[in-house]
């Protein structure tokens, strides 16, 4: 059985791939085939070369200036960067973009690629490494097995795969022009299978253009790792943005592997989860009856995609997540159910809901904690609060 991994294109969103790859490796999964497009080709090269140290270094330290000369901070609206001052970052970027060969000056990206290729002999890689680029004009998809490329040409083909025209300039190699492979195949699952993979772990990014050939997502031998939350701008290299996406990729991978549970949050299953889930269902039935419980489950089912409320655990976790949203708990953390439950109780004991968002909901939880809430709440939401409170407080 040969494992493969297909990595999507998506600029700075590649930090999500780093997090997902880290989780896969920690679970003991290794790869015989690696394919990637654009940033996926760069991450894929470091993975194939067993240089996770370099991938970590890139995603913990990269800035827009390591990719584009005089690049703009796209973590902020473009209107905030606009300036008529000829020495401003905005005007420097415009001048760079409108030079003769059109597109941003990506000389820093070239240097980044060359620096990370140092010491890597592609003919000696322990797995097959395939990347995707497109010819220009015409946008014909082309595949390149990096293992067979001349060593001195590897950096050029990696840059070609990343040449997101028209934002980035066209890449010329030996008289032939190339642009980003993402225009035709931004997540090369098919290429991974062609290279002999029996099972493919495919890491999707919320990029442009969106990944094509989505029929491959549904294959029984493809495990899709997809973002559970919005990933943001693909040219936003703000450190906090990269860290959030890396954490999301790590947690989403664990859920895709069924090592964790959750919809918007991530929980590691344990004995407490089973006990609390059974108690939660009993509380729901005893407090408000079978009809309320059935309607609550049906409503949850309409808004959930990764976690089914038709199981005891799913019903409990979705209700727990609902309360976590009320109190604004971080979605970028690996929780134990008792840990989250205790945090909700801790906050509800001191937060009277008089200020900030979701005042009425937080005020009700405060009243529940101090025994001041009405015995028979009227709305379905407050009834679910009561069920959850009884479950975790008594526990």
Tell me, yes or no, if 264 is annotated catalytic. Answer: no
Residues for the chain: how many in total? 395
Handedness of CA 175, 179, 181, 185 (dihedral sign): negative
* 8 A C-beta contact, residue 292 and residue 383: yes
Taking every pair of Cα atoms in the chain, the longest distance, rounded to a whole number of angstroms, is: 78
Output DSSP code: residue 352: -
DSSP alpha helix (H) spans, 65-164? 78-81, 89-97, 107-117, 154-161
Q: Considering 12, 15, 38, 277, which one is annotated as catalytic?
A: 38
Handedness of CA 234, 238, 240, 242 (dihedral sign): positive
Beta bridge partners of 3: 199
The pairing of strands 33-37 and 128-135 is parallel
* 8 A C-beta contact, residue 323 and residue 344: yes
Phi, psi angle pair for 36, to nearest 5°: -160, 155
Burial category of 248 from C-beta neighbours within 10 Å (exposed 0-12, middle 13-18, buried 19 and up): buried
Q: Considering 180, 190, 252, 351, which one is annotated as catalytic?
A: 180
Tell me, yes or no, if 38 is annotated catalytic. Answer: yes
Q: Which amino acids are annotated catalytic?
A: 38, 180
């Amino acid at each position: 059985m040969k494992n493969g991994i297909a990595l999507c294109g998506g600029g700075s969103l590649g930090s999500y791939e780093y997090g997902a790859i880290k989780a896969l490796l920690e679970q003991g999964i290794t790869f015989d085939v690696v394919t990637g497009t654009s940033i996926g080709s760069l991450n894929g090269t470091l993975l194939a070369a067993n240089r996770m140290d370099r991938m970590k270094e890139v995603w913990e330290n990269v800035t827009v200036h390591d990719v584009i000369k005089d690049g703009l901070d796209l973590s902020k609206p473009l209107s905030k960067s606009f300036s008529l001052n000829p020495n401003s970052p905005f005007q420097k970027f415009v001048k760079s973009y409108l030079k003769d060969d059109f597109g941003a000056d990506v000389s820093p990206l070239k240097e980044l690629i060359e620096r990370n290729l140092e010491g890597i002999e592609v003919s000696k890689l322990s797995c097959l490494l395939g990347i995707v680029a497109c010819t220009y004009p015409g946008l014909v998809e082309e595949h390149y097995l990096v293992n067979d490329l001349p060593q001195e040409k590897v950096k050029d083909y990696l840059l070609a795969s990343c040449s997101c025209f028209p934002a980035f300039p066209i890449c010329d190699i030996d008289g032939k022009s190339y642009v980003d492979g993402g225009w035709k195949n931004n997540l090369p699952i098919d290429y991974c299978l062609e290279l002999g993979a029996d099972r493919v772990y495919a890491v999707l990014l919320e990029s442009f253009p969106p990944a094509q050939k989505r029929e491959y997502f549904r294959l029984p031998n493809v495990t899709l790792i997809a973002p559970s939350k919005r990933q943001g701008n693909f040219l936003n290299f703000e450190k906090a943005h990269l860290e959030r996406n890396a954490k999301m990729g790590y947690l989403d991978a664990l859920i895709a592997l069924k090592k964790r549970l959750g919809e918007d949050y991530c929980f590691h299953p344990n004995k407490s989860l089973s006990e609390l889930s059974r108690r939660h269902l009993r509380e729901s039935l005893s407090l408000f009856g079978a009809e309320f419980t059935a309607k609550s489950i049906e409503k949850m089912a309409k808004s959930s995609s990764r976690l089914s409320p038709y199981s005891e655990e799913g019903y409990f976790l979705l209700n727990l997540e609902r309360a976590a949203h009320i109190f604004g708990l971080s979605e970028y953390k690996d929780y134990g159910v008792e840990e989250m439950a205790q945090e909700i109780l801790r906050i509800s004991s001191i937060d009277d809901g008089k200020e900030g968002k979701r005042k009425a909901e937080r005020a009700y939880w405060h009243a529940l904690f101090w025994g001041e809430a009405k015995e028979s709440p009227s709305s379905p939401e407050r009834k679910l609060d009561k069920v959850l409170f009884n479950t975790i407080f008594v526990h």
